Amino acid sequence: MILIGAHQLGKSFGAQSLFTDISFSIESGERIGMIGPNGAGKSTLLKILAGVEETDEGNLSVSKNLRIGYLQQIPQFANKATILDTVMEGAEDPDDWECMARAQEYMAKLSLSSFGEETLVDSLSGGWKKRVALARELVRQPDLLLLDEPTNHLDMESILWLEKLLARSNFATITITHDRVFLQNISNRIIELDKRHPKGLLSVNGDYLKFVETRNDLLSAQEVQETRLKNTLRRETDWLRAGVKARTTKQRSRIKSAGHLKDKVEDLSSRNIKTKVRLDFQSTGRAPKKLIEATGISKSYDGKLIIPEVDLLITPKTRLGLMGTNGCGKSTLIRLLTMQEEPDTGSVKHAEKIQISYFEQNRESLDPNLTGIQTLCPKGDTVDFAGTPMHVSSYLARFLFSYSQMEKEVGKLSGGEQSRLLLAKLMLSKANVLVLDEPTNDLDMPTLEVLGDVLQEFNGAIILVTHDRYFLDQMTNKIIAFGVDDYGEKDLVPMVGLRQWEDWHEQQEKIKAKPKKVMESQPENKPEPQAKPKKLTFKDQHELDGMEEAIKKAEAKLETLTGECSQPEVLADASRMTELSKEMSTVQKEVERLYARWEELS
């Protein structure tokens, strides 16, 4: 069943044309991923489909009684609205108990219940606001859910939950995202808006990997076709220049065909132009072996432990990724390492003349009232890049800014444009440590690829926080995961890659799902059993008698291995870390088996 048919849509803003003659349809059950470079018009097209914005050309055919949910990139909320009231805005009948139950269900699944129903949405962070907006749209029970960058500001736990929800959904979805792993897992069709494609759109049925293969083949064929037609046009042009005197019907037709051929070549040439952001971080040259050394640092707020005691050594070529839920302490650890905040215990030492560049998640260092040119060049009209004077407009052009965008106030730029501007600002300063807090938000895939290449070549250290699993896996050689141990205590677990994190995260989910383990000290007022337990055999009783000692030994071994993983010299040895990780996994499983057996025998 076709839910929406788009026929020859076109949209422009002033003299800038976003897209023209766009046609496609959306069928029930389809999970469409929408991609394309910044400025291609993806968000605008989603607004048109949602009925929020009008199209300049063409029309939409919408199925009767179609329920559409629309999650904006930056959600909008009523002033002084509570979480519950906001979520219930999506309910067809706010007084219906089933609608209320559905709202409570999604609030619980998105961990919103912990705030209390009367908490004001305005008091929440960006990530929690995104969850509230998502719950509101799910309560609508949409036939079609439109999602604009839904993973921005969400932590990994929420992204994995959303991923499962969309992959199993019985409603159709269109999702704008740059997260390649997320896109691969939730899509069965990919649409790309890009002027390189005929009529500016390419649609491929299948997952993201199939789309990439298909697109590469088509673009390669398009380039070959351009070369072939240019050769044909050259021959036709030579014939015309020969000045043939006769004007037969056949020759006049050939002249007309040459004109059409020229138009086709120009169209192909314009579509095959490749534009990329040109990035280059400046390192400080030779760097000391130890840039940042943290010994036994920890941090608590109001008696609540945020950072348990940890040792860390940051050296040149360290690529450290931090993973954990929102509010787990990633930003706190960064502030401790960069000496913006003092630890409660331990110490942090910086190398002499260390220089740190910081890409902050919310881009607070950008003044929204200044233009892009004023941001980079408060005085004069030149910037100093790598010791070479460069006109500020030429420098910004490297980041694909048009002159009108350079003159626009920062607050009026899109999220992707603001991210590119902040990158441009950081690249004017030398650094031997880059702290990148969610740098992938709002950046398109071509820019992410260039950013990834540049970071690979950077000679200093990188501390990276990102929810983009593909980007994190490509950029890091070490991961610290924020989690909890079997007793619910805060835990920092060192790892060597995303695959190890995925295995660890799966174990964490199993631990959370299990009932609490029998502790060594039993409660004083133990309730009497309801039924007489079965008598143990001699062998079982012997096993039970030695169970506590076996558990203590296994836990002591696990603690020893965990301590070894925290040593700086081990963190720098990838092969040893891999061995330890495997051994820790084996011991952890043995501890869980012993506890389960103890409960069974008890």
Q: What is the pLDDT of residues 132-149, one digit of tens each?
A: 999 999 999 999 999 999
Instruction: Tell me, letter by letter, the H, E, C secondary structure of 71-84.
Output: ECCCCCCCCCCEHH
Task: Domain 503-601: give its CATH architecture.
Answer: Orthogonal Bundle (1.10)
Residues of the chain with pLDDT > 90: what percent? 29
State the DSSP code for 95. Answer: T
Place of tokens 């432990």: 305
Confidence at 581, pLDDT banded by 50, 70, 90: low
**Tens digit of each residue's pLDDT (9 = 90 or more) over 30-50:** 999 999 887 788 999 999 999
* pLDDT higher than threshold 90 for residue 126: no
Residue 395: per-residue pLDDT = 87
d(CA 447, CA 277): 6
584 sits in which H/E element:
helix 574-601
Average pLDDT of the residues in 394-409: 86
Residue 525: per-residue pLDDT = 47
Q: Are 365 and 357 in contact (CB under 8 A)?
A: no
**Tens digit of each residue's pLDDT (9 = 90 or more) over 527-546:** 444 444 455 666 667 677 77
Residue 236: per-residue pLDDT = 65
Residue 267: per-residue pLDDT = 61
Average pLDDT of the residues in 90-116: 86
- If DSSP codes are grouped into helix, strand and coil, which group holds residue 391? strand
Residues of the chain with pLDDT > 70: what percent? 80
Confidence at 189, pLDDT banded by 50, 70, 90: very high
d(CA 22, CA 57): 9
Helix pair angle (574-601, 538-545), 10° resolution? 130
CB 559: neighbour CB atoms within 10 A? 12
CA 49 to the chain's CA centroid: 24
Residue 528: per-residue pLDDT = 45
Confidence at 556, pLDDT banded by 50, 70, 90: confident
CB 376: neighbour CB atoms within 10 A? 19
Q: What angle do CA 532, 538, 541 make, to 5 degrees?
A: 65
**Tens digit of each residue's pLDDT (9 = 90 or more) over 466-495:** 988 888 888 898 899 888 777 767 888 888
* Domain ranges, ordered by start, for the chain: 2-212, 226-271, 282-482, 503-601
* pLDDT higher than threshold 90 for residue 561: no
Residue 519: per-residue pLDDT = 40
**Tens digit of each residue's pLDDT (9 = 90 or more) over 456-468:** 888 889 999 998 8
Query: What is the CB-side half-sphere exposure of residue 563 using CA atoms within 13 A?
Result: 7
**Tens digit of each residue's pLDDT (9 = 90 or more) over 285-319:** 666 788 999 999 999 998 889 999 999 999 888 99
Query: What is the CB-side half-sphere exposure of residue 286 using CA atoms within 13 A?
Result: 0
For residue 120, the cross-strand partners are 82
Stronger pLDDT, 115 or 518, i.e. the higher one: 115
- The closest alpha carbon to 512, from 487, 480, 535, belongs to 487
* pLDDT higher than threshold 90 for residue 188: yes
Average pLDDT of the residues in 554-570: 74
User: What's the pTM value of the predicted model, to 2 decimals?
Assistant: 0.69
Residue 269: per-residue pLDDT = 61
d(CA 20, CA 478): 46
Cβ neighbours of residue 66 under 8 Å, at least 6 residues apart?
3, 4, 143, 144
Place of tokens 């696990």: 558
d(CA 550, CA 74): 54
The matching CATH number, chosen from 3.40.50.1110, 1.25.40.10, 3.40.50.620, 3.40.50.300, for 282-482 is 3.40.50.300
Stronger pLDDT, 215 or 225, i.e. the higher one: 215
> Domain 2-212 class?
alpha beta
User: Residue 523 is which amino acid?
Assistant: P
How high does pLDDT run on average in the chain?
82
Residue 258: per-residue pLDDT = 60
- Does the fold of domain 282-482 match that of domain 2-212? yes
CA 249 to the chain's CA centroid: 61
What would the two tokens of residue 177 be?
């995202």
* pLDDT higher than threshold 60 for residue 404: yes
* pLDDT higher than threshold 50 for residue 521: no
Cβ neighbours of residue 469 under 8 Å, at least 6 residues apart?
156, 179, 181, 182, 498
* pLDDT higher than threshold 50 for residue 518: no
Residue 583: per-residue pLDDT = 80
Residue 526: per-residue pLDDT = 42
